[in-house]
Amino acid sequence: MSDPRTDPDLERVLPVLEAVRAGAPLVHCITATVSMSLVADGLLAAGARPMMTETLAEAPVVTTLADALLINLGTLSTDAMDAIPATVDVATRQERPWVLDPTAIGIAPVRTPLARELLASRPTVVRGNASEVLTLAGHDGGGRGADSTARVEAAEAAARQVAGRTGGAVAVSGEVDLLLDGTRTARLARGSALLPRVTGTGCLLGALTAACASMVEDSWEAALAATTWMALAGERAAERATGPGSFRMHLLDALDEIGR
């Protein structure tokens, strides 16, 4: 398992993993408070470096140092609400890749229009579950909190609409992950049922996608590499785990190990 000589999914993306480990990109994250720790530890385990400041006074300025930016709407504090537009502006002006993770959009009255407006700043990759991608495209996604009530295949047309607007890649997470841009589509049936039983694994995938996108020009390749990395780490962690608590720990070890 997860040996590049025998695992073609890993073989396909291994150069991206190696580039992240060699480049140690600095990823600025405005993300859900509840998952900050997993996101930061996951980036470090993968060989990248996290930064997390979310005030209007500081986030845009420190983003000038960053190699990539993650905007995750998971908690959306008042500080984050105020800082996100200006921080995204810095990333786009400096032509740094940035990832939009429209966590839990739906009935939430601030993040839902904010996520749609942010599409105009053309995120390099949009990553979400099926409900979130449907909602982002203007449909009724039916999400409840951070959970998807829709299946990935139901969001494929919506994902294409989003990709059409941004010109970048869209990654829809689910039992079978869907990755597409204007010309290519991949499906990945890997990972573990324990991944959604740990808070913030989706947020971490968004951050890892930003790290990969800072190392390769092709945003679809970056999204595919991050999704594969996370899925294979999830498989390895599941082999070792006795429950969701030990899975979380092994997941971080496995992010460090996959493909070495």
Q: Of the two residues 159 and 241, which places its CB atom closer to a copy of itself in the complex?
A: 241
41 part of the interface to a copy of itself, by CB under 8 A:
yes
Name residues contacting a copy of itself, limited to 12-31 (CB under 8 A): 26, 28
Selected from 14, 17, 36, 99, the binder of a copy of itself by CB under 8 A is 36
Of 7-15, 76-84, 159-167, 205-213, the window that binds a copy of itself (rule: CB under 8 A) is 76-84
107 part of the interface to a copy of itself, by CB under 8 A:
yes
Q: Of the two residues 170 and 241, which places its CB atom closer to a copy of itself in the complex?
A: 241
Size of interface with a copy of itself, in residues (CB under 8 A): 64
Q: Could you write out the DSSP letters of every residue in 58-120? A: THHHHHTT-SEEEEE-SS--HHHHHHHHHHHHHHHHTT--EEEE-TT-SS-TTHHHHHHHHGG
Q: Of the two residues 186 and 248, which places its CB atom closer to a copy of itself in the complex?
A: 248
Q: Name the residue among 85, 67, 80, 86 with its Cα closest to residue 28.
A: 67
- Measure the CA–CA gap between 219 and 247, rounded to whole angstroms: 29
- Measure the CA–CA gap between 226 and 220, rounded to whole angstroms: 10
- Look-up: residue for tokens 């979310």? 54
116 part of the interface to a copy of itself, by CB under 8 A:
no
Under a CB-based contact definition with an 8 Å cutoff, are residues 63 and 91 in contact?
Answer: yes
What 3-state class would DSSP assign to 128? strand
Name residues contacting a copy of itself, limited to 207-246 (CB under 8 A): 241-246
Name residues contacting a copy of itself, limited to 120-159 (CB under 8 A): 144-147
Rounded to the nearest whole angstrom, what is the least distance from the CB of residue 203 to a copy of itself in the complex? 11
Selected from 19, 152, 198, 207, the binder of a copy of itself by CB under 8 A is 198
119 part of the interface to a copy of itself, by CB under 8 A:
no
111 part of the interface to a copy of itself, by CB under 8 A:
yes
H helix intervals, 119-218: 130-136, 156-166, 201-213
Q: Of the two residues 8 and 109, which places its CB atom closer to a copy of itself in the complex?
A: 109
Angle, in degrees to the nearest 10, between helices 36-46 and 244-257: 30
Helix (H) or strand (E) holding 15: helix 8-23
Q: Of the two residues 38 and 134, which places its CB atom closer to a copy of itself in the complex?
A: 38
